[in-house]
Amino acid sequence: MENQEIYSNLYKLVAKLSSSTDPKRKYEYILWLGKKLKEPSNNILISENKVKGCVSEVYVKPTLQEDKLYWEGYSDALITKGLLAFLIYGLNDLTPKEVVKINKRFIEETGLKASLTPSRSNGFLNILLKMQSQASEFLSI
C-alpha cells in the first residue's frame, strides 16, 4: 500500500489481516473489530448517512475536527459492523483529501475475499465509497 506513513492506521489493519492465511482467523478478527465499535449517537441513523448497496443496514457519518475526519457508524449485522469498524479505525484522523485519494486496492491486500460472501465483499467496497463521497463533500466547503 502506498503512503504507509499517512495511512498508518489502515496499513496496520491490512497487515494484521494479510499476516494470516486462515480465512477463519480473518473472519474472527473482523467480528472482534465489530464488537469493539462504539455505539453511535442516534442522529446518524438518517438517509443521508445510509450506505446504499449493502444487504444489511449500514450508516456512517464523519465529523471534521482540526482538518481531520473522525467517523462513527452503525450496522445491524455483526460482520458488516466489523467491516465498518475496520474502515472507521483505518480512516480516522485523516484529512478529507487523504480519504478521497485512498486506492481501494488495500481491500484486496487484506485477503478478505476468501472469507466473505460476494455481497459482503461488495458491501465493504460500498462503505468505503460512501466514506470517500462524504469526505469529498468537505473538500468543496
Query: Active-site residues: which are they?
Result: 54
Which amino acid appears at position 102 of this protein? Answer: I
DSSP-based three-state secondary structure for 94: strand
Residue 14: in which H helix or E strand, if any? Answer: helix 8-18
Q: Chain-centre distance of CA 51, in angstroms?
A: 11
In Å, the largest CA–CA distance within the chain is 44
**Residue closest to 125 by CA, chosen among 111, 102, 104:** 104
Residue 59: in which H helix or E strand, if any? Answer: strand 58-65
